[in-house]
Amino acid sequence: MGEAIVITSGKGGVGKTTTSANIGTALALMDKKVCLIDTDIGLRNLDVVMGLENRIIYDIVDVIQGRCKLKQALIKDKRFDYLALLPAAQTSDKTAVTTDGMREIVAELKQEYDYIIIDCPAGIEQGFQNAISGADRAIVVTTPEKSSVRDADRIVGLLEKEEMKESPRLVINRIRNHMMKNGDMIDVDDIVQLLSIDLIGIVVDDDEVIKASNKGEPIALTPNSKASIAYRNIARRILGETVPLQSLEDDKGVLKRLKRFIGMRA
């Protein structure tokens, strides 16, 4: 029986899709069977970041409305045998997806895959409710900006009302070291303290991430970039490994105080 993890944030553009693609890819690199679901109806992205756009025939709305079987809509990744994507619909009306429909799809996928990674749309409306409805766990993504942290806090509040296996975990994305040192960005430490949920990883702001997304080759596939290592470490922490924050994930100064937040749980 697999496990479903929703990647959410409240605010748009903070890196949900990038995080979903890279965590999915990193888990596949570790020989896990992974299925990605894009629930951002009307603003489909995950297929582009994964470089699979040209293979889409059916989408999630086709599955829910019975126009095809779930298996028919799944797109097999070009690099891994056991990495699949269920794409969002690009044109259909948003109300086509329901929480029940989502739950059914996720339950079926859990029979075959180890991890179902659900990419959530921005906002707290129906699309968000759908995305979280089938999930066992949640990862909240934020950037070190006030408005993004505020939205993440709102999302954590909503997630805490759901019956999930554990409280959500946090990814802080797009950290810029020089800005943090100058105090122009909120400190990682302060973000973790405010949200008071476990940190599962921090990812630097890296042009390579954007380049990789444009090529449809998630950064997690490149061996040595900082962002790539950060995503692969997040995947290892999802698998339950205790991985200390690498200095490669960021430069040392910011991290010293952070150690205590990482890898504290079994």
Ligand X SMILES: Nc1ncnc2c1ncn2[C@@H]1O[C@H](COP(=O)(O)OP(=O)(O)O)[C@@H](O)[C@H]1O
User: Residue 163: CB partners within 8 Å, gap ≥ 6?
Assistant: none
By C-beta, is 75 or 192 nearer to Mg ion? Answer: 75
For residue 17, the one-letter residue type is: T
**Which tokens belong to 221?**
């596939």
Residue 170, interface with another protein (CB under 8 A)? Answer: no
User: Residue 252: CB partners within 8 Å, gap ≥ 6?
Assistant: none
| Contact partner, 9, from Mg ion, ligand X, another protein, none, Cβ < 5-8 Å per class | ligand X
Applying the rule CB under 8 A, the residues between 174 and 203 that interact with another protein are: 194, 196
Residue 157, interface with another protein (CB under 8 A)? Answer: yes
With CA atoms as reference, report the closest residue to 9 among 135, 155, 125.
155
| Contact partner, 12, from Mg ion, ligand X, another protein, none, Cβ < 5-8 Å per class | ligand X
| Contact partner, 14, from Mg ion, ligand X, another protein, none, Cβ < 5-8 Å per class | ligand X
The answer to whether the CB of 139 falls within 8 A of the CB of 197 is no
User: For strand 75-76 and strand 83-86, is the pairing parallel, antiparallel, or unpaired?
Assistant: antiparallel
Phi-psi group of 208: left, alpha or beta (phi > 0 → left; psi -120 to 50 → alpha; rest → beta): alpha
Alpha-carbon distance of 132 to 4, in angstroms, equals 9
For residue 81, the one-letter residue type is: D
Residue 151, interface with another protein (CB under 8 A)? Answer: yes
Applying the rule CB under 5 A, the residues between 35 and 94 that interact with Mg ion are: 45
Closest distance of CB 190 from another protein, Å? 11
With CB under 5 A as the contact rule, the residue among 17, 39, 133, 148 that binds Mg ion is: 17
Closest distance of CB 193 from another protein, Å? 9
Helix 207-215, helix 16-29: angle, nearest 10: 80
Closest distance of CB 158 from another protein, Å? 8
Choices 54-62, 176-184, 190-198, 207-215 (CB under 6 A): range interacting with ligand X: 207-215
Site residues (vs another protein, CB under 8 A)? 146, 150-151, 153-154, 156-157, 160, 194, 196
Interface residues with ligand X (CB under 6 A)?
Answer: 9, 12-18, 45, 173-174, 203, 205-206, 209-210, 213, 227
